[in-house]
Amino acid sequence: MNQKIYIADDEENIRTAIKLFLEKSNYEVEDFGTGDALLARFNEVPSDFVILDVMMPGSNGFTILKAIRAESTVPIIMLTARDSDLDYATGLDLGSDDYFTKPFSPMELVMRVKAIFRRIEYEKQKNNNEK
């Protein structure tokens, strides 16, 4: 079964580009125009990874990040046009695994997703070997 990734961004062209690149890398992808829609779906069927825009209608990405972190350690990448040090620090402090600023390379984003999945798999194998 392919790993499932949820994307929330209010810009459809960005969601479409990310989805295309991720699907070409054999990930199952669902995209949402708001963080609230992603969170509702995540609460029903959790994904293996989340990519969140910070500035969206309704709840912003930081609010959705906090809500997901209250329940899950799923990897999360924040995606935003906001590139101040404070925004970056806030995203990491709230528990994101990475922080991407727009404009960005969808290919680099996919490589970072793969790197985070590899790190998680390595940690699982390491923990299983220690038992």
Residue-wise pLDDT tens digits, 82-115: 777 777 788 888 889 998 888 889 999 999 999 9
pLDDT for 88 equals 79
Q: Residue range 28-49: average pLDDT? A: 97
**Cα separation of 99 and 91, whole Å?**
7
Give Cβ neighbours of residue 127 (< 8 Å, ≥ 6 apart).
Answer: none
pLDDT for 1 equals 61
Share the mean pLDDT of the chain.
Answer: 92
